[in-house]
Amino acid sequence: MSEPHPSSTPYRVAALQMVSTPDRERNLDAAGQLIAESAAAGAKLVLLPEYFCFMGFKDTDKLAVREPHGDGPIQRFLADAARRHGVWVIGGTLPLVAPEPSRVLNTTLVFSPDGAETARYDKIHLFNFEKGSESFDEARTIRPGETVRTFEAPFGRVGLSVCYDLRFPELYRRMGDCALIVVPSAFTYTTGRAHWEMLLRARAVENQCYVLAAAQGGTHENGRRTWGHSMLVDPWGEIVAVRDEGAGVVAGDIDLARIAEVRQSLPAWRHRVLA
């Protein structure tokens, strides 16, 4: 991204917070309503949370709704929503077919306002956590991605990441100079309460850009509780907007003049020595 021009017009973005269920169609209906609400309020880019389309009772349930890349009801929903509302839609994650029949790719797809797919990112870092009765090992049912991905939005470069990726700052350095980093997530209540906000703010401060995080937020029908707190963070690490729990919309502006101001007063981006 070239140095932002201070007079650039702010660009409205929105993160959708959901409490997704084991019913794909119900989740798509809920997501559709939130996308429509965001677009009506002026958002030009909308980010959905990880697993927005499906959260089953067990990890293997996602195999039943996986789609081949390029076609399927979830992908058609995302493309149609982008086209209908004339907005960028970053589709949280959905399960795509992987080479192994017992695993999926946990994939973010980006659709431009004309409904065309413009970027794809397969989640690289897979969550593994053991504490008390909580046990998670995503590698059992998810094949990790391998490639860092960004795309060009009207206001600049957008870096794609998912949930557990947030703990690996080297991923974000490899994205290059971004105006916005997105983090669709389904952080657990335990890990979210401990680390979510500090990690999001750290990534914003380190990269001197905006961070938009769309989360699952509440108690799900499968008994899992997610942390929520979807938010937009500015390049100084200030929280622009946040929603604690429950379904809803978090919106705010990407202001290139704000990025320029932060980078001029504290030029850390230019002072990097190690790649």
30 CB-side CA count, 13 A: 23
Q: Which residue is associated with the tokens 């001029």?
A: 264
Helix (H, G, I), strand (E, B) or coil at 130: strand
Is 146 noted as a catalytic residue in this protein? no
Q: Do 180 and 160 contact (CB within 8 A), yes or no?
A: no
**Which residue among the candidates 50, 67, 138, 245 is catalytic per the annotation?**
50
Is 123 noted as a catalytic residue in this protein? yes
**Which residue among the candidates 44, 53, 62, 163 is catalytic per the annotation?**
163
Q: Do 254 and 10 contact (CB within 8 A), yes or no?
A: yes
Is 50 noted as a catalytic residue in this protein? yes
Contacts of 196 (CB under 8 A, 6+ apart): 185, 187, 213, 215, 227, 229
DSSP state of 192: I
Closest CA to 215 of 252, 189, 194: 189
Integer Cα distance of 233 and 217 in angstroms? 18
Integer Cα distance of 9 and 265 in angstroms? 21
**Which residue among the candidates 123, 138, 178, 209 is catalytic per the annotation?**
123
Read off the tokens for 245: 């729990």
Catalytic (active-site) positions: 50, 123, 163
